[in-house]
Amino acid sequence: MALDSRHHAFIQSLLARGPQPAVDCKKMFQKLFDARPGEVEENFFDFLKVYNKHLDFFQLEIRGSTNQHDGTQYYGVVNKLASEPAKLATQYSAAQIAYFKALVEAIVQEPSGELSSIDALNLREDQTVNSQEASSSQSVSLPKLSLAQRDKVLGDLAADKWLYRTEDGGVSLGIKSFLELRSVFMNLEVPFCDVCNEAAIKAMRCQNEDCSARMHSYCAKTKFQRPEVISF
């Protein structure tokens, strides 16, 4: 199947606007391809499979993930080849990326899956990175970010959907992190949801101390159908 201007318009929208809710992506697909309402669901997933075969050459993928704050399904374009720092390198400095890395590591270790704004601002990060020069590797010191600089970085990362700011000012991961950082979550040994098999960052723990099960609240509702039978 050859790609045409409709395919290009779809991916250009995702690249320009960032991850979008699944319902909006399907509406865009329906409009671009003049699909009937009853055909959208099945044809949309076939469309993604075909499109991803073409994108694989460029190490790109249209990937779906769930916003763990409200259970909304999103789709976004993911770079499968670039390392996590490289995905931010075009917009953020090495010091800002080191701060983001420290935020991710701290957030996934919190049972609530979020940090208070004070804890986020005062977080200590690794102030050195490895630099390759010729055949040798050396450690390079990074400038320390001021509180004002950190506050701006938090705002920028939230605007870019790497982070999510809660109503009470807390700091958690955004949909772009859920889409892009799966390998990071695995390396950090983040538990996975027993239902959807995605990282259980904003998730409930079983009340039984001997049980290691984790479930997102929206996954638990789907599994047990009625909220009143949930034993978490």
Q: What is the pLDDT of residues 55-75, one digit of tens each?
A: 998 889 999 999 999 999 999
Q: What is the pLDDT of residue 132?
A: 45
Q: Quick check: 176 pLDDT over 70?
A: yes
Domain edge (last residue) among 170, 187, 204: 187
Claim to verify: residue 152 and residue 221 sit in the same structural domain: no
CB atoms within 10 A of CB 217: 16
Do 55 and 110 share a domain, yes or no?
Answer: no
Residue range(s) defining the domain that contains residue 127? 85-187
**What pLDDT band is residue 126 in, cutting at 50, 70 and 90?**
low
- Is the pLDDT at 228 greater than 70? The verdict is no
Q: Which of 64, 23, 65 is nearest to 201 (CA)?
A: 65
**What does the DSSP 8-state code read for residue 216?**
-
- Mean pLDDT, the chain, rounded, equals 85
When divided into structural domains, the chain yields a total of 3
DSSP letter (8 states) at residue 82: S
Report the CATH number at residue 104: 1.10.10.10
Please say if the pLDDT value at position 173 is more than 90: yes
Residues 169 and 89 in one domain: yes
Percentage of residues in the chain with pLDDT exceeding 90?
50
- Classified as helix, coil or strand, 194 is coil
| Pair 98, 135 in one domain | yes
- The structure tokens listed for 5 are 């201007």
Q: What is the mean pLDDT of residues 77-93?
A: 77
pLDDT at 27 over 70: yes
Of 119-123, 191-195, 208-212, 224-228, minimum mean pLDDT range: 224-228
Closest to 184 in 3D by CA, of 117, 95, 85: 85
With contact defined as beta carbons under 8 Å apart, do 75 and 20 qualify? Answer: yes
Both 99 and 180 in one domain: the answer is yes
| Alpha carbon distance 96, 198 (integer Å) | 27
Residue pair 78/60 in contact (Cβ under 8 Å)? The answer is yes
One domain for residues 91 and 140: yes
Same domain, 111 and 183: yes
The residue among 111, 219, 92, 58 whose CA lies nearest residue 162 is 92
Same domain as 149, residue 65 = no
The pLDDT assigned to 133 comes to: 40
Average pLDDT of the segment spanning 24-35: 92
Asked if pLDDT for residue 134 goes beyond 60, the answer is no
The residue assigned the tokens 């009340």 is 207
31, 63, 81 — which closes off a domain?
81
Q: Are residues 97 and 171 in the same domain?
A: yes
**Both 95 and 140 in a single domain?**
yes
**Residue 2, SS3 per DSSP:** coil
Q: Are residues 27 and 95 in the same domain?
A: no
Residue type, 7: H
Q: Do residue 73 and residue 93 come from a single domain?
A: no
To the question of pTM greater than 0.85 for the whole model, the response is: no
Is the pLDDT score of 26 beyond 80? yes
Report how far residue 80's alpha carbon sits from residue 60's, in angstroms, rounded to the nearest whole number.
6
For the segment 214-227, the average pLDDT, to the nearest whole number, is 78
pLDDT at 82: 63
Distance (Å) of CA 188 to CA 101, 215, 216: 11, 18, 19
